[in-house]
Structure 1
């Protein structure tokens, strides 16, 4: 009987600010086990966490770097909302999971019959700056294979991507627009690769859509928040899913055998 060499993949699920818990779970794995990922698949904040891991020479270094960044985020204003009352209300919801945020935004806009003419609730500059500081793209291209979940966004020539178009993307995701898994190492242009990482966390209404090789994308959590299929497609035999839950326990680690 032919033996199969174990290939372990990590699935880093989306969950907004709860990504700090994910960093803590990874720290536990690094310190208390000998498990290291061969491949990483991430969605939303999980994709950004995964990029930091993959951009370091070793798993231990990546985990240390990731936890340093989350410690630093406690002192920085990364989510910088606009000042109107409506947008402040929406920003509170945007810092939770995508489904909750979607419900808040839709309910509020329906009740107020108001669609402000802003392309995004949050200023994208702080998170863009942090990503460029945290992720060395040369190292990322040479690091652990990273798959990023995104979902195609609607772009109509001559029409700005305002809040109305953001709502269209939310509705399209609800009725079945499929997410895509894109490999970070396949992108050689720096700006395109940064846009890929930012696209996975580009929650409609909260952050602007991102263009990648002529196609626009938004937050992959709308279509596939647990990209286990990306690992299965690449031949992983086992997967650890670090899930950010809304319940009492914020982190659930699942170990699955794929084959």
Structure 2
């Protein structure tokens, strides 16, 4: 079969403050490849959900640079401050128990518009300052970016919407499954903030006439849209740690100990967010591996004419054929929830928080309980915590320098 043109892409998962880990991995990849500002852009397709949407939009806005402004992205994360970017809304705090109880009873991920724990205005200003959406327009128009794909959840229908900004002449084939809908239009700050609107933490966002919230509720790692935009090879960054057998044993003991504790709203919110933002990337990658194996068998056993007939059927039924895809996947080598708990206790000992925020976060971090530290990790908008995650992401990338070079080095 004829060789295809390489169109490198990146897929970035959602997970609140854990997005700093993604930034660290990207910086590590650029370091390994020795990318410079005057090189051609590495990634041509960017897809993101939730905080991954913010990172993806940032990279797209710097695609006139060969390093996508990776070091600038690190500075964005380092600039976060708890006192400024994690301001609690008293009304949201008062309504929290009722909202959480209702969510558990109804089993639906939707949250009434306007209900949020955090005042997000300063965070929104920071995103608006960091991401130049006019520059994204230019990079897409000039073909430096083939596609920027942002996933968000339509609140009323519960259906995932993939917002897609596509370069002239680039090909994007939306899914025909009915599980997701595509809207091809220029990406704005409203799209990005809608994708990042984690229920309970952030208010839902209006895009046009519709309300949207965090795309991670249904689609936390948008691999399929990136593939449908022609990405290959593909860098996938998840923010979910894969626990070892020993770590799972520790977690089981902690769960047993928690059975005797009084489980208040903060514990329930942590459980709720962990469930809602459950990352199915492992399953998606298993499916992708099986498809790669299937395509290899078809290529090696069918004649060219027979292979084309199979692809024609696939195009007719799903909009596009199957192809082998090279992927490189990163996930944190350490438990980010535990890192969040450790950092939170350090901040509390330093007496750096106002009393209300200190009490709130203290309830979200029980000594030794990684689940509730997981909850804290979503909103620890703190430059010191970001630095720990950046360092972890960079180290994870540098440890796999040979793999990065094999997949993404210029050929």
> Structure 1's 184 and 202: CA in aligned 2 closer, same or farther, altered over 3 A?
farther
1:72 aligns with 2:79: yes
Q: How many residues align?
A: 216
Distance in 2 of aligned mates of 1:67 and 1:14: 17
- Work out which of the residue numbers 124, 133, 136 in structure 1 matches 2:132: 136
TM-score, normalised on structure 1?
A: 0.71
| 1:178 shift after superposition | 3.3
Q: Does structure 1 retain, via aligned residues, the 8 Å contact 2:152–2:162?
A: yes
| 1:109 shift after superposition | 7.5
Distance in 1 of aligned mates of 2:33 and 2:95: 42
Alignment of 1:217-228 (within 5 A): 217-228=212-223
- Work out which of the residue numbers 149, 152, 155 in structure 2 matches 1:153: 155
1:240 aligns with 2:242: no
Q: As a proportion of its length, which structure holds more helix?
A: 2
Look up the match of 1:48. 54
Distance in 1 of aligned mates of 2:18 and 2:208: 30
Distance in 1 of aligned mates of 2:164 and 2:198: 20
Bigger mean CA offset, 177-186 vs 133-142: 177-186
Three-state SS of the structure 2 residue aligned to 1:60 is: coil
| 1:83 shift after superposition | 3.5
Look up the match of 1:10. 10
| 1:89 shift after superposition | 11
> Structure 1's 249 and 61: CA in aligned 2 closer, same or farther, altered over 3 A?
same
TM-score, normalised on structure 2?
A: 0.47
1:181 aligns with 2:162: yes
Look up the match of 1:19. 19
| 1:199 shift after superposition | 0.3
Three-state SS of the structure 1 residue aligned to 2:47 is: strand
Q: Does structure 2 retain, via aligned residues, the 8 Å contact 1:53–1:59?
A: no
Three-state SS of the structure 2 residue aligned to 1:147 is: strand
Q: What is the Cα-based RMSD across aligned positions, in Å?
A: 3.3
Three-state SS of the structure 2 residue aligned to 1:73 is: coil
Distance in 2 of aligned mates of 1:117 and 1:63: 34
Q: Does structure 2 retain, via aligned residues, the 8 Å contact 1:47–1:149?
A: yes
| 1:127 shift after superposition | 1.8
Distance in 2 of aligned mates of 1:117 and 1:135: 25
Bigger CA radius of gyration:
2
Look up the match of 2:194. 199
